[in-house]
Structure 1
Amino acid sequence: MPSIAAIQTSNASYAPPYLPVAIFFGGTSGIGRATAEAFAKHTEGNAHIVIVGRNAGAARELLDSLPKPSSIASGWKHEFVDGGDAALVANVHALVPRLPSRVNFLVMTAGYFSLAGRNDTSEGLDSKMALTYYSRAALVMGLLPALRNAAAQGEAASVLSVLGAGHGHKVDLDDLGLEKGFTGMKSMDACATYTDLFYEELSAQNPTIAFTHTFPGFVDTPLFNTSSAGTPWTVRLAGPLIKLAVMGFAKSMPDAGETQLYAVLPPAATPGRVLRRGSDGEELKAEPAYGSGCNDASRRVLEHTEKVFQATKPQ
């Protein structure tokens, strides 16, 4: 397990000979924002940073706070792209053409915590599952050409989903999407396992791209802030109690950002492998990835996911 000091040292050593392009999906608050801030700090702002979200005000405040290079010669750029409601996969399909054609790092944190019952979007997907799995998967799939473009030029190409590595369970391959047996806890476990299996398929097809799934652990984020706009009522109700219970060992936002940045940067992110990391940046064993290594399971999850993509693409 790397110490936070070792993680910061590793991040500080990242000095590519090219202008890196990083997209933060869900980067206006929480862990996504903290990771974007860490990336900007270690690159001294000398990067093309794209913050994707819905809150333009929060994005502008973040972008204004990031370090700026003294020279414009490098072509650096820090921008906000309004992704609309990310619980609608169709919006992600529409988002992809507005993003850079070369991408080195894709960091995805969009989502929320809830143990409530199923809440379907207009696309027939549970809103939480849509945010934490289907929309993220659609973004990865849509940006594969941009990631391959970076890899073909000898640059880093790395994908990170901050979710629930090591906390999945065996999934019912005959009920993918949980249309028959939905519970809040089951949906959380399913999205973690779907992510592992989806990445296994993509990694096999794209050996020059690194795919990483992490579990952030308890982090002092606005997730449990009862005044946060858009926070589900179940979280607002339980938030103060949960925060009180974990505040003694919750990771600070800056440390969480450094840890997630470590996971997506080389050398920790390794092309040709699906890496799963815990809350302290440690690599997890393969055993907890239920279904991992089972070609039929990963294939069926990919096929199910592609069917959702087809159903949500504009005709």
Structure 2
Amino acid sequence: MVSYKEIQASNSLINDATAPRVSVFVGGTSGIGKFTIKALVSTGASVRIYLVGRKSSEEPARAFIQELNAINPKAEIVWTEGEVSLLAEVKRICELIKKAESRVDLLFLTAGYAPFGTRKETSEGVEVAQSLEYYSRMLFIHHLLPVLGASEAPRVISVLGGGLEKSSVNVDDLDLKNPGNFSGIKAQIQYVTMNTAYLEKLAVQNPNVTFIHSWPGWVSTGNVRRGWDEGSIVARIFWFILEPIIYYFGFSDEESGQRNLFQCTSAAFGGRGIPWAGKKGVNSLEKSEDGLFLVSYNCDCTPNAKAMPQLRESSQEKIWDHTQRLLQPYL
């Protein structure tokens, strides 16, 4: 485990020269994304952050931006409205960013929630949580890879469940559309595993970019209340039991932000970034150079050697091909 004291020491070295100068935060209007933005801005570094969120989030986001400007007047926060569950909207947002920026240093993806209710689809025919936690994230990466490639130390972080993937998924029904295949736990495991399988392929194809799939552990973000059917009695019982446990035993907002900022900037992951004298992380291929790092809540890395070899053999190519077909109209 990387201690909180070590993380704070590393983050204290972030300055104008070492900070990700241009960042895109998708899901940064609340929860872990918001905590990480605040940690980055609080370093005092000169940064520009694209804060992507829904129209309904604009008012609280504007108040958050004012708070950030008071903390660090050198930080520029660019509010970027869009419904990122829709893949056409993801494409539109990325085109706006690419027109404005010749490089992006950090892409930080946190939008989504566990789909514990009944299956709900977007107007594009994709299950909402799967679009947020998987398809839209991969589409953001594909569109922004050209400007990420222009950075000296580009990094992509998908916050979901790195290290928790299973050795196989339902390759015959990757979108869990068939009757009886969809349930909250099954869907969440499927989306986590698809993230890792696809990100690893992207990492191999783009060796100059560091990819991280992280599992944040328990953080009180409010997401435990999302994804349920309206008025669900089970949901109310679930909230009543789980929310106090997360609040009292999980990471504080500040520590969560600092730990995620460490993942955004430390050379512990891939050898580029803030110098790190501690144990180097190993990627999913059990190497210490750039690639895909599966990072747990305590900022340790795992190659998940029990599941990954089987996943590569049985499912990875099918996940890749299926995802490419679904995203193709939006590329």
Normalised to the residue count of structure 1, the TM-score between the two structures is 0.87
Q: Determine whether 1:90 maps to 2:88.
A: yes
CA distance in 1, matches of 2:105, 2:269: 12
Consecutive unaligned residues of structure 1, counting only runs of 5 or more, are none
Q: Determine whether 1:26 maps to 2:27.
A: yes
Please name the residue that 1:115 is paired with: 116
Q: CA 1:117–1:268 in 2, change beyond 3 Å: closer, same or farther?
A: farther
Return the letter of the residue paired with 1:204. Answer: V
Shift of 1:126: 0.9
CA distance in 2, matches of 1:285, 1:123: 35
Please name the residue that 1:15 is paired with: 15
Please name the residue that 1:244 is paired with: 244
Please name the residue that 1:62 is paired with: 64
Please name the residue that 1:77 is paired with: 76
Q: Determine whether 1:176 maps to 2:174.
A: yes
Contact 1:105 1:159 in 2 (8 A): yes
CA distance in 1, matches of 2:21, 2:312: 35
Shift of 1:115: 1.5
Q: CA 1:309–1:123 in 2, change beyond 3 Å: closer, same or farther?
A: same
Q: CA 1:71–1:293 in 2, change beyond 3 Å: closer, same or farther?
A: same
Shift of 1:56: 1.1
CA RMSD of superposed structures (Å)? 2.4
SS at match of 2:269: coil
CA distance in 1, matches of 2:307, 2:122: 28
CA distance in 2, matches of 1:92, 1:269: 27
CA distance in 1, matches of 2:210, 2:161: 18
Equivalence map 1:178-257=2 (5 Å): 178-180=176-178, 181-224=181-224, 233=230, 237=236, 238-257=238-257
Return the letter of the residue paired with 1:23. Answer: V
User: After alignment, is 127-136 or 110-119 more displaced?
Assistant: 110-119
CA distance in 1, matches of 2:158, 2:17: 26
Q: CA 1:33–1:232 in 2, change beyond 3 Å: closer, same or farther?
A: farther
Contact 2:16 2:45 in 1 (8 A): no
User: After alignment, is 168-177 or 233-242 more displaced?
Assistant: 233-242
What are the Cα deviations for residues 149-192 of structure 1, in whole angstroms up to 9, with x where unaligned? 11xxxx21000001011222221222222222222211100111
Contact 2:42 2:71 in 1 (8 A): no
Identity %: 30
CA distance in 2, matches of 1:173, 1:231: 26
Please name the residue that 1:306 is paired with: 324
Please name the residue that 2:276 is paired with: none
User: After alignment, is 133-142 or 261-270 more displaced?
Assistant: 261-270
Contact 1:50 1:80 in 2 (8 A): yes
